A and B are shown apart, each in its own frame.
Chain A
Amino acid sequence: MSILLHKNTRVVVQGFTGKEGSFHAEQMIEYGTNVVAGVTPGKGGQTHLGKPVYNTVHEAVEKEGADASIIFVPAPFAADAVIEAADAGAKLIVCITEGIPTDDMIKAKRFVVSRGATMIGPNCPGIISPGKAKMGIMPARIFREGSIGVISRSGTLTYEAVNQVTELGMGQSTAVGIGGDPIIGSTFVDILKLFNEDDETEAVIMIGEIGGTAEETAAEYIKEYFKKPVVSFIAGRTAPPGKRMGHAGAIIMGGKGTAEGKIKALEKAGVKVAESPALIGETLKEVIKK
């Protein structure tokens, strides 16, 4: 089994008729994702990409049985879109949007959790279960069905790692881009727990970066509970303190959130950390061989 996203997941696309939404929804459908509807307020009743468009997520859930939503809504309206999806009963909510205010996300996350839904993102590439379905913006052709779980705070660095894994002849069970913001729907630990219970996943690649303490928390969890091998890479060894490195969450503050600290914590938990981003695939291969 893959985690979170499966062949039969019924997906609604919020921001369906917009430029980004259209482009990526088309690619998702092409990949075989079960996109059942789209939502654009005010455009209900239309058909777009061969799928019905609704004014609200509630209608899409009621009429098409949607149980997951992917959000391509501009930042000022994105948190509201997340809350709408959770209120409508979507169990999996993937928010691609970058640049959402922190306070909006604090509110949205509380709401999502109160409804028992799972949110991925924001500011992320989404989630893909190769060979089954894709809710996201990642280039599908670099992925291959297999047994490696991937979790990452970064988009293109995930592609880099996945590409290495695929080229070495291995594939992925599910790859999850959890996002580069300070407040995100699902953390490393949330996703690790799912991979731990997934029979199809044999090993996990965890790609972290400077800022926050999510990697350290993940290291504690891995040490105590995780049953499978984990390989990691932490980006930002060369990043100076106090400077935001692209992602809103990638900043070393008050001596906290350094790459060194994270690497140390992970190694202590038995995680093999790749020295160079070009060696993630090789490191994984070595670990699996043992």
Chain B
Amino acid sequence: MKVHEYQAKNFLKKYGITVPNGIVTDDISKVKEIAEQLGGKVVVKAQVLAGGRGKAGGVKLAKTAEEAEQVAKTILGAKLHTHQTGPEGVLVKKILIEEAANIEKEFYVGIVLDRAAEKYIFMVSPFGGMEIEEVAKEHPDALFKVFIDYLELFPFQARQLAFNLGLSGDAFKQAVKLFLKLFKLHIELDASLTEINPLILTKEGNIVALDAKMNFDDNALYRHKDIAEIKDDSEDDKLEVEAKKYDLNYVKLDGEVGCMVNGAGLAMATMDIIKYYGSMPANFLDVGGGASVETVRNAFKILLEDKSVKVVLINIFGGIVRCDRIANGVIQAAKEIGVDRPMVIRLVGTNQEEGREILKNAPFSFYTFDTMSEAAKKAVELTKGGN
């Protein structure tokens, strides 16, 4: 789960990490007053979850409160197009107004999971402000990493990090403290990614988190109700949001074959086989290893709500889940929602004969097959107007 910059900064503040003074607002008429309160010279920052907002013009400096208002008008309520939002862009509903800092030096600071090492890594680089992938590519030697073995950053490691940024004196001490607090925060809140880019040394000699990005482990949200509560899903696809309400794993894609599959691996494989036969999947949809009548019905609803779906392909390998139940779920859903597009069903596993019999006697015409390839071939053929 992602959170906005201002939300991440609130967590940082709670852990005693210095961030610029700032106020978040969704009201353009308050901008001037806020800017005055912050000393006039401010930065106006679009609060969107999509990355790449700086390059897309979502972060702007204003020298006076009047200018801040002018700048805010171009950002707040407008659509921002970054490399992550696609051509539709994302509507900016909130802006963060912060006092402008006097930057002496900029650094990159990040905590990520290294899956191969099965540990978190704490990374720093003197190339602040650049995207980390770019730094890794262009200045790999300038990326310093420490591996965290026990979900705890040790003080000597924090010192290593600060020395590698070339810090000394009071700034060094501030950075060491910040790194220790930041890692504690990362673990205590079950973050999956914590990034400060840039962390700055100000001309006044202070270490300040100028930006903040945090992602949280979805599996751990049950023990962080306060974080789960601030989730903003307004930038997500509408059908994806709806699917989540039903506990369905759904991802919207660009193709025309709507898929309903049990199990994530088989769901991906089903998408792949649709491409293999010459079409593209309209979605990823995993109804879970133990799909019930209820989940099948909900999944069906989501699939048909997507108007780009021309054909529905249901691929169920019933292990423990019984095929007769799935067949009943499909028919029940079809009756409730109505079927206006061709349906191809591949149903194998426990009670598959009963399942097929139920589908055969249904008042709808389904195309039923025994194998995944036959079913996928048929579905692709149907997108091209065959029958």
Task: Report A's interface with B, CB cutoff 8 A.
Answer: 23-24, 75-76, 99-104, 106-107, 109-110, 125, 137-139, 142, 152-160, 163, 180, 182-183, 207, 209-210, 212-214, 217, 233, 235-240, 242-250, 254-255, 259, 275-279
Contacts and interface: CB of A to CB of B under 8 A. Distances in A.
A82 to B, nearest CB: 14
Given A106-B118, A155-B319, A276-B273, A246 B133 contact: no
Nearest to B254: A240
Given A102-B192, A210-B268, A182 B115 contact: yes
Nearest to B136: A254
Given A101-B190, A159-B317, A276-B272, A250 B372 contact: no
B286 interface: yes
B350 interface: yes
5 contacts: A139-B319, A155-B289, A213-B116, A238-B275, A246-B286
Nearest to B188: A103
B220 A101 contact: yes
B118 A101 contact: no
B268 A235 contact: yes
Given A159-B349, A238-B280, 5 more contacts: A106-B119, A155-B263, A157-B263, A180-B265, A277-B266
A139 B268 contact: no
Contacts of A104: 220
A264 B362 CA distance: 46
Given A217-B116, A246-B249, A154 B218 contact: no
Nearest to A208: B265
A138 B319 contact: yes
B115 A276 contact: no
A239 B265 contact: no
Contact of A157 (B120, B187, B265): B265
Given A139-B349, A214-B116, A235 B263 contact: no
Contacts of A142: 319
Contacts of B120: 106
B130 interface: no
A4 B80 CA distance: 54
Contacts of B318: 139
B284 interface: yes
A245 B220 contact: no
Contact of A154 (B219, B251, B265, B284): B265
Given A101-B190, A103-B217, A183-B115, A276 B373 contact: yes
B115 A163 contact: no
A68 B271 CA distance: 37
Contact of A152 (B133, B150, B265, B280): B265
A243 B283 CA distance: 12
B365 interface: no
B281 interface: yes
B262 interface: yes
Given A102-B217, A209-B265, A276-B272, A76 B115 contact: no
Interface string B264-298: 11111111111110001100101001000000000
Nearest to B84: A242
Contacts of A246: 249, 263-265, 267-268, 284, 286
Contacts of B271: 236, 238-239
Most buried by A among B118, B265, B281: B265
A245 B264 contact: yes
Contacts of B150: 110
A156 B276 contact: no
Contact of B373 (A24, A152, A278): A278
B164 to A, nearest CB: 22
A160 B289 contact: no
B337 interface: no
A68 B205 CA distance: 58
A254 B133 contact: yes
A214 B115 CA distance: 9
A138 B84 CA distance: 39
A275 B276 contact: yes
Instruction: Identify the 4 closest CB pairs spanning chains A and B, nearest first.
Output: A154-B265, A246-B264, A156-B263, A157-B265
A255 B371 CA distance: 33
Contact of B372 (A109, A180, A238, A278): A278
A153 B217 contact: no
A160 B187 CA distance: 38
Contact of B265 (A99, A156, A217): A156
A99 B320 CA distance: 20
Contact of B217 (A101, A109, A242): A101
A278 B371 contact: yes
A154 B220 contact: no
A245 B268 contact: yes
B193 to A, nearest CB: 9
